[in-house]
Structure 1
């Protein structure tokens, strides 16, 4: 017997089979995202074999760490693109990765990929799927996951997020509207505003750090016509993974729009200098929650936010300002 499954059906169907049959699962699925292990029931204590593609930068290393902590044997294959879920005498094969888009996790249907998978329960088909899994598991490109490979994948994951496409739904959500409904979502978003350049020592040392980042990740983001995607800051108290709305007012500049950045290396001390720098990477939009909604400011929103940020900067000499503080300032001046 076979049955067609959608992106919404796949995880619940597998989880029910996995928990009912209490058999070790065999899973060869390339890309994994946050929450997939729980959605598939892999946190239930039944030890399984799982094959992923960690090297690509499309798999969240934290999810792989969780799978290992749950007691599963996890390997990686750098050219894996399969989507095979096997448990007991059932197999699901199709297009769904174990990701929020592929399994429609915490999303509406319009925000996920439209997937098609097939549930197989006849003995011959399931046996073929198991044999295919064994071939992939024993493939020459399949390797054990080490602490070093997890660390390397962290950097690739961070860089890959820069090029993640905007949400699949046609409309970009309104940042200010969502802020008013739940401001906690934006607790890691700050305005970075400055009117002076970084020091020459900072410029020289940042080149060394950026070169090291590129070497470790073995993947360099595409450079735009405006130069490197990596930007250096001497603003105090920046933390890794914080999101920044950058406002440059050096030399009396009057920016019409803000840039979006993510802190990837924070407060690195320059040797023999009493200075620290942070490295950020330019991103296309703000995504405060991983796999959550993505935001871009409209021209009018940018203009209003820039003016409020400048007021706070000149009044309080703050270079790092929580988004909440700026929005409250905007509301007072309307």
Structure 2
């Protein structure tokens, strides 16, 4: 093993990337000059890349050039370059800050790494990369690249508003985006609300609820709830939309648990099932909620409510963002044109 830092690390990374043969790169963040810095040809057939695209952490115009040879992993933080001849495990991302091109460069971050050449260790790294690439990382869709480009715009601070998100995608939000509008007009009786509020404050009841959901004390503090709503989608971000007098009053992002189960409550001769969610504030998985978004949702309340309540009663309906986006897009773009 050989310790490297500064320009020596940069040069060794370039040397490995120039080698013929298989090249695997698990580097979390790729800057716009990554290919130049690494002297890397994205069209070579024997290269594979795993990166983090979430929140625009990697430049989509660079990652796009690798095609299907690149995959994404949201929680990747590693910086690893592997070849059959050697590998570098270090701290440097594929960016100008991570790879100084001159020995006396002071603008970049202080990076270091080790050169690995032991055959047993190289095999261990290769196996690790293979597992990530085949089983843990995800395919990169055109939608993912669009989102990354949107997040990298300086104007939105890394995460666009709901309106910006929908407009950037021209109203075509893919069904796999786990965001939905939780639209309801009935928030329960006073007795039902009082019961759950008291249960959350009662030490013994709170303990039972934490055990029921298998959550920590910290997560318990962020709990919110809906009454008798088993249709809530699991592991989804819900935009709370309470219909009052025909208008939406937008709340926060709420996140459902992986298993949607009702917690039974009994009070007097009445009973209700409570479906717990976690209050995530204004930030969702791909966008944030703003006052402008609230006005947009309120402005098209009637049409959204009609779309959500095609069948059955109108007490509560979940409308996926992919269904709602065309309506929101039309209204947002019309408003901008005026």
The interval holding the TM-score normalised by the smaller chain is 0.3 to 0.5
Higher Rg? 2
TM-score, normalized by length of structure 1?
Answer: 0.47
